[in-house]
Structure 1
Amino acid sequence: MTDGQDPLPGSVRRRRERRERWMREGERPLGRNLALIGALGWLVIVPTLAGLFTGRWLDERAGGGIFWTAALLFLGVVLGGWLAWSRIEQER
């Protein structure tokens, strides 16, 4: 509200558009929702596990510790979250 514009008209317009789209298209099928949930799970798990296993392999080569494991695990979780977010945005 720092620019002096009222957010209410935009909110009302978006709600009306969503309702009209729902009335026109109806609810998404249950199978499509379940497929999306499964895809999101794989999109998060695969990069996370890839980071974990790659980090463990690099740490074994470097002589122990968990530096690469922790760093690549974090990177895998971030990448998986970004991929899942992108997929959800694509579904909209």
Structure 2
Amino acid sequence: MSRDDNKEDASAAAIRRRAERMQQSRNERKYSPLSGLGVFGVIGWSVAIPTVAGAFLGMWLNRVAPQSFSWPIALILGGVVVGAMVAWNWIEKNQDQ
């Protein structure tokens, strides 16, 4: 066996070990603090958007179809409920991952 054959065997073994380490690192779940911030962002926006939309829709309805109750307050509460349901659904769906 020549010296070049030993180099090729060592090189192939090193490449195989590196590929195995890369595959192992891909299979392991790693959580970072930034992913937690991303979750807070998604949950926050999923509650904030329906709430703000309800407020604007309520202000418009107050001008178009006035009632004895306040449309903005009713639709803000409705937006919070809808947003909480969307956030809950998102958490349930992504909890298994």
Q: TM-score range by the shorter chain?
A: 0.5 to 0.7
Question: What RMSD in Å do the two structures reach over aligned CA positions?
Answer: 2.0
Identity, in percent, stands at 38
Distance 1:52 1:42, change over 3 A: same
**Does the 8 Å CA contact 1:51/1:72 hold for their aligned counterparts?**
yes
Larger Rg over CA atoms:
2
1:41 equivalent to 2:44? Answer yes
Moved more, 58-67 or 28-37: 58-67
**CA distance, structure 2, for counterparts of residue 25 and residue 89 of structure 1:** 22
> Counterpart in 2 of 1:76?
79
**CA distance, structure 1, for counterparts of residue 72 and residue 63 of structure 2:** 10
| TM alignment of 1:53-68, pairs within 5 A | 53-63=56-66, 66-68=69-71
TM-score, with structure 1 as normaliser? 0.64
Shift of 1:31: 1.7
TM-score, with structure 2 as normaliser? 0.61
State the Cα deviation string for residues 56-91 of structure 1 (Å, max 9, x = none): 110022347653212211110000000111111122
Distance 1:53 1:66, change over 3 A: farther
Aligned letter for 1:73? I
Secondary structure of 2:40's aligned partner: helix
User: Paired residues, what number?
Assistant: 69
For structure 1, the residue ranges without an aligned partner over 5 or more in a row are 1-23
